[in-house]
Chains A and B, each alone.
Chain A
Amino acid sequence: QSVLTQPPSVSGAPGQRVTISCTGSSSNIGAPYDVHWYQQLPGTAPKLLIFGNSNRPSGVPDRFSGSKSGTSASLAITGLQAEDEADYYCQSFDSSLSASVFGGGTKLTVL
């Protein structure tokens, strides 16, 4: 049971928009600690996708965006492409655990 809750899976057709939610609590996202997102392509290590709730590292397309409100955060992907098919993880810090925490991960399927 992860501290941060994500839907196990989402799907969308090419060109569509999908969102992935990440729900926490008052000791992590609501504390408020920043939320970061990672993309993990099959068989590879995770890669930073969004940092500080809504910032994109250099090289990440602007089709990816992040937001945060209260004890939840969201990752939105617009103009879905086949190459976006991957697992996505949110991450934050939890003051009760004094630990970094991850969401359980969401598998994105591009139909």
Chain B
Amino acid sequence: EAQLVESGGGLVQPGGSLRLSCGASGFTFTNYWMHWVRQAPGKGLVWVSRINGDGSSTRYADSVKGRFTISRDNAKNTVYLQMNSLRAEDTAIYYCTRAEYQELHDWFDPWGQGTLVTVSS
């Protein structure tokens, strides 16, 4: 069974940095694009970033472009989200999720349990 486990969240001051990790198990990690999705307290789901299987292609939401960097270590079955210049509006639960593909369609499954990032002084 595919599983994802996030870690690295916590309290950080505005302007600070944090690196999130997402460990994968139960599937061939290199075959899948991985995404980060966040959810501010009491709000909806917002896509943040994605990376392809070999790490050669990345994409970001406009709100985090230039501040966040997604990467992966396929030897460790782990995807990362390096978050710099953090702002109060980055406060959210950050979910790691796998993009599953079938006949040109794709969807997110499974999702990790999420890790909370709080940006506050």
Partners in one complex: no
